[in-house]
Amino acid sequence: MKKKAYIETYGCQMNVNDTEVIFSILADAGYERTEKMEEADLVMANTCSIRDNAEQRIWGRIEVFHQLRKAKPGLIVGIVGCMAERLKDKLLDTHKVDLVVGPDAYRSLPRLLDAIGPDSPQIDVFLSRDETYADITPVRTDRNGISAFISIMRGCNNVCSYCVVPYTRGAERSRDAASIVREACDVYQKGYKEVTLLGQNVDSYLWKSGTETVTFAGLLEKVAGIAPDLRVRFATSHPKDISDEVIYTMARHKNICKHIHLPVQSGSSRMLEIMRRKYDREWYLERVAKIREVMPDCGLTTDVIAGFCTETLQDHEDTLSLMETVGFDWAFMFAYSDRPGTLANRTMKDDVPADEKNRRLNEIIQLQNRKSLERYRAQIGRKVEVLIEGPSKRDPGMLCGRASNNMMCVFPAQGRSAGTYTEVEVTDCTSATLICK
C-alpha cells in the first residue's frame, strides 16, 4: 500500500507552488497526497518566516503534530520551507522534528525519508545557486483546475533591509524559459485557462541559452502566445525594475491581465532609502503614471509596511499621501516586524513602539478601505470580461470570477460553467467585490 503525505502550506503563493513540487518528488518516494492529517504517515508544514507572527503559528502546529505522533508512533513530522532554513537547530534540538528541509533541498526528500530512524532526524538546508526544479511537474493541489501557478525564478538578490527572504531562499536564479513555456502549454492542454508566473522580482527574470536571451517581457510574450484564451498573470513586480517594455507587452496582448502588484512599502523617500528599495517616491509615482498612461484600466495593488525603524510622523504622512494619490485597488498592509539576521536587525533600532506601529497601520488600513471602495465604485456601469472560477463562497447560487484587473466579480449562474469566459455588467460593489449581472 502507498504511504500518505499531508502538507500544510503557510506564507506566499511561492510556497503553495513549492508544496506542489514536493508532492511530485514525494510521489517518486512512494507517497501519495492526503488531505486528512489523521491518515498520514508523513505530516509536514511548509513554513514562512516573513514576520514573527508567521513563525509563531508554526510552533503551535508542531505541537499538534507531536500529539498526533504520540498516538501514531512512526509518524514522521517534517518542517520545510523558510523557517527550516532559518531555525534548523531549534527545530531539531528543542522541537524534536524528524525532518528539516530548506527551499532548495526538496530533491533530497526521498533519500532523507529513507534515512530517518527513531534517533536519527534528517536535515538538508543547502542553498543552491542553480536549483529551479525546472524539470519537475508540480502535482497541482488547487481544486478548481482553472488557474495554475508557475514558478519562473527562485531566490532574491535585493537586499531590502527589513526582509529575511534573501537569507531563507538564497540568491536569485531564473528558470529555463523553454521549461516554463512547456509547463504552461501542458496546463493549458489539461484544461486550465489561466497561468500566474511567480517570482520574488519577476522583472529581473533573465534566461540565456545559446544566442537567445529571454527577458521578462520576452517570457510574457512567449506565454501569451500559447493560446488567446489562456490568461496570463504575474507577481511580484519591483518598482525599480519594471520596464516600459513589460508595460507595452502587457498592453499589446489582450490575454495578459491588466493588473500589477507593485509593492511600494513606504511613501517617504527617506524611508525607501534606508529600506534599500533603490527607488524614491518620485520614481514610484512616475512608474504608476506610465502604467496608467499605457493601460488606463490597469489594476494596481501594493504592499505597505508601517513603523519601520526611525519612521517619523512625517514619513507616515508621506505614505498616506502616496496612497491617496495613487489610489490602489487593494493593499497588503503590515506592521514592521524585526527579523533576526536582516540588515535592519543588525544595524538599526526597531524604535517605533508597538502601539504606535499599530496606530499607524490602522490609519493606513482605514485609508485603503476608503480607496478600495472608491476604486470598486468607479467600475459600476462598466462591462467586464470574467473567467468563471466556480460558485461564489458567500452565495452558492451565484458564480464568481476575476476581471482582467483582478477584481473579484459575482453574478447569477444562468447556466454558465466554471472555466469559461463571460461578459458581465457591474451593478453594485463592496470594497472587495463587484456585484454584476
Q: Where along the sequence are the contacts to ligand 5AD (CB under 6 A)?
A: 50-51, 162-163, 263, 265, 303, 305, 334, 336-337, 339
- Decide: 246 and 217 in contact? Cβ < 8 Å: yes
Instruction: Give the residue nearest to ligand SF4 (CB).
Output: 11
* Kind of pairing between the strands at 330-335 and 76-81: unpaired
Among 5, 12, 21, 202, binds ligand SF4 (CB under 6 A): 12
**Can residue 168 be called a binding residue for ligand SF4 (CB under 6 A)?**
yes
**Can residue 15 be called a binding residue for ligand SF4 (CB under 6 A)?**
yes
CB of 133 to ligand 5AD, least distance (A): 21
User: Measuring CA to CA, which residue among 266, 217, 209, 223 is closest to residue 237?
Assistant: 217
**Can residue 299 be called a binding residue for ligand SF4 (CB under 6 A)?**
no
**Can residue 215 be called a binding residue for ligand SF4 (CB under 6 A)?**
no
CB of 344 to ligand SF4, least distance (A): 15
Partners of residue 9 on adjacent β-strands: 46
Cα separation, 264 vs 302, in Å, equals 6
Backbone region of residue 341 per phi and psi (left: phi > 0; alpha: psi in -120 to 50; beta: other values): left
**Can residue 301 be called a binding residue for ligand SF4 (CB under 6 A)?**
no
- Decide: 50 and 164 in contact? Cβ < 8 Å: yes
**Can residue 45 be called a binding residue for ligand SF4 (CB under 6 A)?**
no
CB of 342 to ligand 5AD, least distance (A): 7
CB of 9 to ligand SF4, least distance (A): 9
- Decide: 133 and 14 in contact? Cβ < 8 Å: no
Cα separation, 45 vs 79, in Å, equals 5
Give how many residues touch ligand SF4 by CB under 6 A: 13
- Residue closer to ligand SF4 (CB basis): 81 or 401: 81
**Can residue 198 be called a binding residue for ligand SF4 (CB under 6 A)?**
no
Cα separation, 203 vs 279, in Å, equals 15
User: Measuring CA to CA, which residue among 233, 158, 227 is closest to residue 195?
Assistant: 233
Partners of residue 124 on adjacent β-strands: 101
**Can residue 153 be called a binding residue for ligand SF4 (CB under 6 A)?**
no
**Can residue 169 be called a binding residue for ligand SF4 (CB under 6 A)?**
yes
Q: Which does 82 bind (CB under 5 to 8 A by kind): ligand 5AD, ligand SF4, none?
A: ligand SF4
Give per-residue burial for 97-110: e unless 16+ CB within 10 Å, then b: bbbbbbbbbbbbbb
Instruction: Give the residue nearest to ligand 5AD (CB).
Output: 303
Helices within 31-176 (DSSP H only)? 52-71, 82-86, 88-93, 109-115, 165-169
Among 4, 11, 43, 407, binds ligand SF4 (CB under 6 A): 11
* SS3 of residue 245 by DSSP: helix
Cα separation, 150 vs 381, in Å, equals 34
Q: Which does 265 bind (CB under 5 to 8 A by kind): ligand 5AD, ligand SF4, none?
A: ligand 5AD
Cα separation, 425 vs 10, in Å, equals 36
Q: Which does 48 bind (CB under 5 to 8 A by kind): ligand SF4, ligand 5AD, none?
A: ligand SF4
- Residue closer to ligand SF4 (CB basis): 168 or 372: 168
Q: Which does 337 bind (CB under 5 to 8 A by kind): ligand SF4, ligand 5AD, none?
A: ligand 5AD
Q: Which does 168 bind (CB under 5 to 8 A by kind): ligand 5AD, ligand SF4, none?
A: ligand SF4
Contacting residues for 227 by C-beta, under 8 A, at least 6 apart: 188, 255
- Residue closer to ligand 5AD (CB basis): 97 or 275: 275
| C-alpha cell, 406 | 483582478
Q: How many CB atoms lie within 10 A of CB 260?
A: 26
- Decide: 300 and 323 in contact? Cβ < 8 Å: no
- Residue closer to ligand SF4 (CB basis): 201 or 319: 201
**Can residue 49 be called a binding residue for ligand SF4 (CB under 6 A)?**
yes
**Can residue 138 be called a binding residue for ligand SF4 (CB under 6 A)?**
no
Backbone region of residue 91 per phi and psi (left: phi > 0; alpha: psi in -120 to 50; beta: other values): alpha
Please name the amino acid found at residue 9: T
Among 40, 82, 148, 180, binds ligand SF4 (CB under 6 A): 82
Q: Which does 339 bind (CB under 5 to 8 A by kind): ligand 5AD, ligand SF4, none?
A: ligand 5AD
Task: State residue 287 phi and psi, 5-degree precision.
Answer: -65, -40
**Can residue 50 be called a binding residue for ligand SF4 (CB under 6 A)?**
yes
- Residue closer to ligand SF4 (CB basis): 14 or 399: 14
- Residue closer to ligand SF4 (CB basis): 258 or 261: 261
**Footprint on this chain of ligand SF4 (rule: CB under 6 A):** 11-12, 14-15, 48-50, 81-82, 164-165, 168-169
